[in-house]
Amino acid sequence: MSTIELPALYVDSVALVAATPRLVLVNRDPSPGESGVPIDATLALELVDTGPDGVERSTARVWIDGVLAFDGSAVPELAPAFAGPLASVTQTTDTLRVVLHPVAPLASLATVHVRVLAQTVGGAASLDEVYSFVVEDRTAPRVVGAQALAQKTVRVGFDESVLVPSGASFHLTPKGVPAVSVAVAGVNVEGSVVLLTLDTEMTPDVLHEVVAVGVTDLCGNAVLGPYDRATFTGFRPARPERRRFDLWRMLPKHNRRDDHTGDLFRFVACLQEVTDLLLADVDRWPDIFDLERAPEAFVDLILRDLGNPFPFELDAMGKR
């Protein structure tokens, strides 16, 4: 094919000719692409012949997710699963209206596909159309896990984004003894993750259970048992690998042998927890006096102790 180059091209007029199909699908409820459809909704549609013939009722078929729900040539026309009390079929000269009423509620968050097949009287026009809609979210959120991030911080994960409305709460219960009882002092929501701040340090290595009460997803569905809880192990701060500071082992052997009831062991375990907390504070001491790791407030104090010979203002990096 040869190439033709034109210096200019002028269009005098453009005529738009729109061809209207004879058989059309209208008044669909739910409409195509609609979301948040109630689980107990009826499914309505109308077949309209824009010509003189009308809709051939015996050729009309409606499938819901591949299941034949309406067959105009069958008796009865409506499948039992879609023949609820609000179901109906009405026909006029040019219109066939079908209302399906599912007996069982639609599945939460399901994408429902509807296929409609029909012809006009005499077969001059036909229609085969598919559309879909999405059912509302009626699924309760679930707790998928929990993890202790620090001595006073617990992360709780859900399977979807959640809200913590007024009145909602989290309860933490130690599953072992001896253990300190803890309560939630603060809640921070980040999508599907909730960070809990505790009122005191949890007991290290002891199994804890966290229960969510009144937490909802973005659609208002509240968390339900048994998927409202998770277990996690109490946080233990990092410690030197070679440290051995076991109070029970420091006791004389005869005292340990005479502890037939286990009362002495449990009492020493309480003292051991306090001792471990003090040792963890001691281990964090380098984070305060080390210029590279110290929080900015402590860097200011270090400069003040040194007399701070700089009269001008310094940023955080300059102070270090």
**In terms of residues, how long is the chain?**
320
- Give the pairing of strands 216-217 and 169-174: unpaired
Buried b (16+ CB within 10 A) or exposed e, 93-125: ebebbbbbbbeeebeeeeebebbbbbbbbeeeb
Residue 23 has a pLDDT of 92
Q: Which residues sit opposite 122 in a β-bridge? A: none
- By percentage, how much of the chain surpasses pLDDT 70? 96
- For the cut 80, the answer to whether the pLDDT of residue 254 exceeds it is yes
Q: What is the pLDDT of residues 262-282, one digit of tens each?
A: 888 888 887 877 787 787 777
Residue 81's pLDDT band, with cuts at 50, 70 and 90, is very high
Q: Which of 174, 199, 41 is nearest to 108 (CA)?
A: 41
- For the cut 90, the answer to whether the pLDDT of residue 58 exceeds it is yes
**Contact (Cβ atoms closer than 8 angstroms) between residue 179 and residue 206:** yes
N-to-C CA span, the chain: 75
Domain boundaries, the chain: 23-134, 143-233, 247-283, 286-319
Q: Residue 95 to residues 91, 98, 131, 172, 263: CA-CA distances in angstroms?
A: 6, 10, 20, 62, 86
Residue 271 has a pLDDT of 83
Q: What angle do CA 260, 265, 269 make, to 5 degrees?
A: 170
**Contact (Cβ atoms closer than 8 angstroms) between residue 241 and residue 273:** no
Q: What is the pLDDT of residues 152-173, one digit of tens each?
A: 999 999 999 999 999 899 999 9
- C-alpha torsion angle, residues 103, 105, 111, 114 (rounded to 10): 20
Point out the least confidently predicted range of 47-61, 217-231, 245-259: 245-259
Which of the pair, 140 or 180, is modelled with greater confidence?
Answer: 140
Under CATH, which number does the domain 143-233 receive? 2.60.40.1220
**Same fold flag, 23-134 and 143-233:** yes
Is the CATH number 3.40.1280.10 carried by domain 23-134? no
